[in-house]
Amino acid sequence: MQRNTVFFVGLMSLLFVRVFTFGQLYISEIIILFFLLLANFRSKRNLLGKLSGGEEISRFKLFLIGALFSQVMTDIWVGSSITNLIRGFSLILFTIIDLIGIIRISRLEIRILRVLICGYGFSTFLALLLQPNVYFESHPWKFGFAYAVSLLLVLFLDHRYRLKRLLPTAILFIFSLLNFYLGARSLGLVVLVTGLVYLFSPVLLIGKGRALLILGFILCLLLLSLQAYSNLVGNGTFGQSKQAEFQQQSTSKFGLIGGGRSDFFSAVAFIRESPIIGHGSYAAVTDINRSKVIDAIGQVNPGIFQTSSSFGIGQQIPAHSIILQFWLWFGAIATLPWLWFLFTCIRYLYSSLHKYAEGSLLPIYLSCLCIWDLIFSPYGADRKFSMPLYFVIILTSLRRKELNNVD
């Protein structure tokens, strides 16, 4: 594909149409599906086998197929509705289709992947113009522009200041503070960690003793930054609404981060009840289990979600974690692709701090972002394209570093 076509695929990745019980079908998925139907399927296995990183990407694909099998078996076992079974099936199926399509379109070439993800970055602005989400009006930065701007900023810094460290890091630190101020705290933390990793990579080349000191300094800096932010918000520096939100969330046993992700613990309670099979696609709150949801959250954070209107009947059991969501819905086997993804992100960050060539900014940022999302963010329909794209970029960058000692 030509670059403008690749960019167009990325640009259409957040625009969708509703297709009966399948839910949201994105324009990029329609393009990719059409492209794959026209492509020579006999060359797919050779492509995956020959190109750098092909075997590990194939393993990720096989894990997704295993998750698809587990989803079908779980929904049949628990008696999910036909609608939820089809929706769960399409969620994983189109993730696999997007993964294969991204591989075929990009040929695992970094320059093409960068064009594709650039189009994806701009797709947010097009989607907000044509199909704004329900949260955009009340939180335009957090649920609108924040992630797109951060991705495009990282792409620009990675291209313009590739061989520099201090200036990109300073810009990232300023952007991190902006996100904290505007309410996108998780993104602010991700950007801050990205800047620190980028600044000190490859730290392990200076010796393990010094490396441990620097890594300890990074950890202390993160803790001090979190404490400083907590003090500022608690004092009302960022406004009364953020102060009230902070006071609710800070009552958690696990601090501010745990308070902001209290619904994470309701998923843990349900997983412990059925760790192998799962509760079915789009497992919902019912009259029977609603008290268990609220109790699980209340035990961790008694200052939040204690109203009668919280988690109404028919709403999804809260998970707020890709790994836990797949485990809760589809069973333990369905966590394998995301655990593999998590391991790949950690490998890339470790390689950036270790003996390989210095990591580039884009895969460092994507690795930090995906580690957070895999543990603390849900898997919605809009992630069917973005998560495979992130995985392919991170793994392709890792393979290049390991094989050629360059990024």
Please give the model's pTM, rounded to 2 decimal places.
0.87
Predicted local distance difference test score (pLDDT) of residue 40: 60
Predicted local distance difference test score (pLDDT) of residue 249: 55
d(CA 27, CA 50): 30
Q: What angle do CA 346, 393, 61 make, to 5 degrees?
A: 85
Predicted local distance difference test score (pLDDT) of residue 170: 93
State the amino acid at position 267 in one-letter form: A
d(CA 272, CA 72): 21
d(CA 44, CA 48): 6
In the chain (407 residues long), the average pLDDT of successive 10-residue segments reads 89 88 85 83 48 72 96 95 93 95 90 95 94 84 94 94 87 92 88 88 61 70 71 67 59 54 79 91 86 74 54 82 95 96 91 66 95 93 95 91 61
d(CA 107, CA 124): 25
Predicted local distance difference test score (pLDDT) of residue 372: 94
Phi and psi at residue 284, to the nearest 5°: -115, 160
